[in-house]
Amino acid sequence: MPGFDRVDVITMFVVTGCFNDDQLDRLIARLSAFRPRHFVTTTVTSQWKLWRGRLNESEFFERHGYTETQRHWLPEWPVGDTLRDLALPKRYWINLSLRLYEPV
């Protein structure tokens, strides 16, 4: 891309579950064209009507030359946390993880 040498970090906070498999593959392919040094994602592996939680998220990045180098499972927030309720009413962040992907 003109004017850019390389992107350092692309953050995808609670994004990957918004897409079906084909859409997610295309999204990562387009973002990989920027040759980022890191992808940082947060994702939830549980599923509901508008969310496709995936245990195999890393496979999508591997197809585009990135490997998962770190994964941290975050503790579930307390039930009475109103900040969570504002962000996603009536949903609980089960199996929330923070992941780091780097070029192979």
| Structure confidence by residue, pLDDT tens digits, 74-104 | 765 545 555 544 455 455 556 788 899 999 9
- Which pLDDT score is estimated for 38? 96
User: H or E segment at 11?
Assistant: strand 9-13
Task: Determine, yes or no, domain membership for 64.
Answer: yes
- Per the structure, the complete domain to which residue 54 belongs is given by 9-103
Task: Determine, yes or no, domain membership for 3.
Answer: no
Task: Determine, yes or no, domain membership for 40.
Answer: yes
Task: Determine, yes or no, domain membership for 36.
Answer: yes
| Structure confidence by residue, pLDDT tens digits, 13-60 | 889 999 999 999 999 999 999 999 999 998 888 777 778 888 899 999
Q: What is the pTM of this model?
A: 0.77
Task: Determine, yes or no, domain membership for 75.
Answer: yes
**Cβ atoms 52, 26 nearer than 8 A:** no
Task: Kindly tell me if the per-residue pLDDT of 63 is higher than 80.
Answer: yes
Q: What is the CATH number of the domain that holds 40?
A: 3.40.50.150
Q: What is the 3-state secondary structure (H, E, C) of 34-88?
A: CCCCEEEEEEECCCECCECCCCCHHHHHHCCCEEEEEEEECCCCCCCCHHHHHHC
- Which pLDDT score is estimated for 81? 53
Cα(98)–Cα(67) distance, integer angstroms? 14
Check residues 72 and 83 and name the one with the higher pLDDT: 72
Count: domains in the chain = 1
Task: Determine, yes or no, domain membership for 1.
Answer: no
